[in-house]
A and B are shown apart, each in its own frame.
Chain A
């Protein structure tokens, strides 16, 4: 695995931006690094919305937020010295199920040597009930390095 091929899993949160900045600081203008921002988009559950219109509006809002996040992240990475042509964005629609496993699927299929993910720090009870993407990535990742940025 090429550890210089970095996959940052992002979700438009502050934690994700911290992960992006951390990568920017570490990588800077060092040669040979490729940085890919990956967002696995989970459509809001239709069951949570009283009608189709509100649901569609929410989906569009989420996509727009993510596009804005990608732009901000690219700018931040460039400011740290990462060449623009070495920054890539991938927006994939969740196929259902665990996000961590989908992120690990991309890492494995595309040969990323490093996964980076932000974490807000969840309590034990929160992890039990809601799950934790970063903890699962740490637990299940194989053949790559994982950076968890708090």
Chain B
């Protein structure tokens, strides 16, 4: 069998590698796969550069089952997600939800969304142990919250100049989630860091589809709540916690807030943003209130949410009421 050194010499002679590892064809023991190893799946070779990490509460959290790689045949970057089954409690404000990581589900979704730029793209290749290895293309860009945080404008300017465009794009992102639901699939982990704004095109693209849950009566409830949370963030250009309002210069708002103005799941998070920014149109604010403790009725489908967004769109005009 060809060694890693021989393989590199043949396929990527100019690629400098600090150490030559082993060629891996069974990825079951993903902890033992590291820098300098080459994963061979689907007839192609992926040189492992490092484990993926996720920053959480300021700490780098390594994801040992996700490998950042170079596809030796082309030189392109790829992310390989190896099989890791786990279930864990996911805390959502007041509630705890049992969450499962399912490689099979992610493979199915990747297949469903092939060629659809609204989602990350990738294929599934089986290794020698029949593990479904997900080979993902890298999306160059920023998380939606980092993208918004990088806009150095005040809220009013943001809301009337930039938000209308973002709102329209976010409607497209919601339509993408509705597409999954129509096909019986959920995203499973709709958060601000799973919606990317692609560099260059500024298209909104969803990533990471491997979470799932055992909800049967309302299987898409969590996805809907995730969409509501991102919309609230986009409207406000940030998240507003009760304890931070004074520091942010909204002291006068505090006395007007009631429990009904806060998020259904996060009791300190203001969702009735019109009380902070009175120029937010009623139609748009009413959508946010569907995710508040005061909501009489929640959305059951993304289609319902989209209908209200479509109605609200007319009131969200670029350049309107800027003075």
Which residues of A does B touch, CB under 8 Å? 42, 44-48, 50, 94, 96, 98-100, 123-133, 136
Q: Known contacts A45-B212, A125-B264; decide if A130 and B184 are in contact (CB<8 Å).
A: no
What residue of chain B has the Cβ atom nearest to residue A51's Cβ? B85
Report chain A residues within 8 Å CB of B212: 45, 47-48
**Contact at A48–B214, with CB atoms within 8 Å?**
yes
Contact residues, B19-76 vs A (CB, 8 A): none
Is A125 a contact partner of B95 (Cβ separation < 8 A)? yes
A142 to B93 CA separation, bound complex (whole angstroms): 36
When the two chains form their complex, are residues B102 and A129 in contact, meaning their CB atoms are under 8 A apart? no
Interface presence of B172 (CB below 8 A): no
New contact pairs (15) apart from A98-B218, A130-B218, CB-CB < 8 Å? A42-B216, A44-B214, A45-B214, A47-B104, A94-B216, A99-B216, A124-B264, A125-B93, A125-B265, A127-B298, A128-B218, A129-B215, A130-B217, A131-B218, A132-B217
**Least Cβ–Cβ distance between A99 and chain B, in angstroms:** 6
Cβ-defined contact, B97 with A129, below 8 A = yes
Within 8 A of A (CB), among B283-317: 293, 295, 298
Q: Given the known inter-chain contacts A48-B212, A50-B85, please indicate yes or no for A129 contacting B293, CB distance below 8 A.
A: no
Interface size (B, Cβ < 8 Å)?
A: 26
Bitwise, B203-235 to A at CB < 8 A (1) or not (0) is 000000000101111100110010000000000
B140 within 8 A of A: no
A99 CB contact (under 8 Å) in B92, B94, B100, B217? B217
Cβ-closest chain A residue relative to B264: A125
Please, how many angstroms separate the alpha-carbon atoms of A94 and B184 in the complex? 14
Pairs across A and B, CB under 8 Å, 15 listed: A45-B214, A46-B104, A47-B102, A47-B105, A48-B102, A48-B214, A94-B216, A100-B217, A123-B94, A125-B264, A125-B265, A127-B298, A129-B215, A129-B218, A132-B217
How many angstroms from the CA of A51 to the CA of B212 in the assembled complex? 16
B217–A98 CB distance below 8 A: yes
B87: interface (CB < 8 Å)? yes
Q: How far is the CB of B86 from chain A (nearest CB, A)?
A: 9
B87: contacting residue among A48, A94, A123, CB under 8 A: A48
Instruction: Give the docked Cα–Cα distance between A99 and B216 (Å).
Output: 8
Q: How far does the Cβ of B209 sit from chain A's closest Cβ, in whole Å?
A: 11
Q: Which 7 interchain pairs have the tightest Cβ spacing?
A: A131-B218, A131-B217, A47-B102, A50-B85, A47-B105, A129-B221, A128-B298
